[in-house]
A and B are shown apart, each in its own frame.
Chain A
Amino acid sequence: MEARSRIESPDVEREASTTVVSIHSDADIVAARQKGRELARSLGFSAGEATLVATAISELARNVVQYAIRGEVALWPVTSGRRRGIAISVRDEGPGIPDVDRALEDGFSTSGRLGLGLPGVRRLMDEIDIESTPGRGTLVCATKWRH
Chain B
Amino acid sequence: MEEPKQGAYMEVPILKQGAYLIATVQSALTDGDLLKLRDTLVVSVSKHRARGVILDLTALDVLDSFSTRTLRDLAHMIRLRGAEMVIVGIQPEVAFAMAQFGLTLEGISTTLDLEEGLAYLDGSTKPNRIA
Report A97 CB to chain B, min CB distance, Å.
16
| Bound Cα distance A106, B101 (Å) | 11
Q: What size tier do the contact residues of chain B reach?
A: 20 to 34
Report if A1 contacts B (CB, 8 A): no
The number of chain A residues with a CB under 8 A from chain B is 30
Flag whether B123 is at the interface (Cβ < 8 A): no
A58 x B92 contact (CB < 8 A):
no
Closest to A30 in B: B28
Chain A residue numbers with a CB within 8 Å of B6 are: 25-27
Partner of A25, one of B7, B69, B102: B7
| CB contact list, A25-47 vs B, under 8 A | 25-27, 29-30, 33-34, 37, 47
A6 to B1, CA, bound (A): 28
**A131 within 8 Å of B (CB atoms):** no
Residue of B nearest to A63 (CB): B1
Beta-carbon nearest neighbor of A69 in chain B: B5
Say whether A114 faces chain B, with CB atoms less than 8 Å apart: yes
Tell me which residues across on chain B come within 8 A of A123, comparing CB atoms. Answer: 100-102
Nearest residue (CB) in B for A123 is B100
Q: How far is the CA of A25 from the CA of B66 in the complex (A)?
A: 14
Q: Are A51 and B97 in contact (CB under 8 A)?
A: yes
What is the CB-to-nearest-CB distance from A115 to chain B, in angstroms, rounded to a whole number?
7
Residues of chain B within 8 A (CB-CB) of A24 are: 5
Cross-interface CB contact of B96 among A29, A33, A48, A117, cutoff 8 Å = A48
Digitize A6-38: 1 where CB-to-B-CB distance is under 8 Å, 0 elsewhere. 000000000000000000111101100110010
Complex interface: chain A residues within 8 A of B66 (CB): 62
- Asked if B62 contacts A54 (CB within 8 A), the reply is yes
| 5 A-B interface contacts by CB (under 8 A) | A51-B97, A58-B62, A66-B1, A106-B102, A115-B65
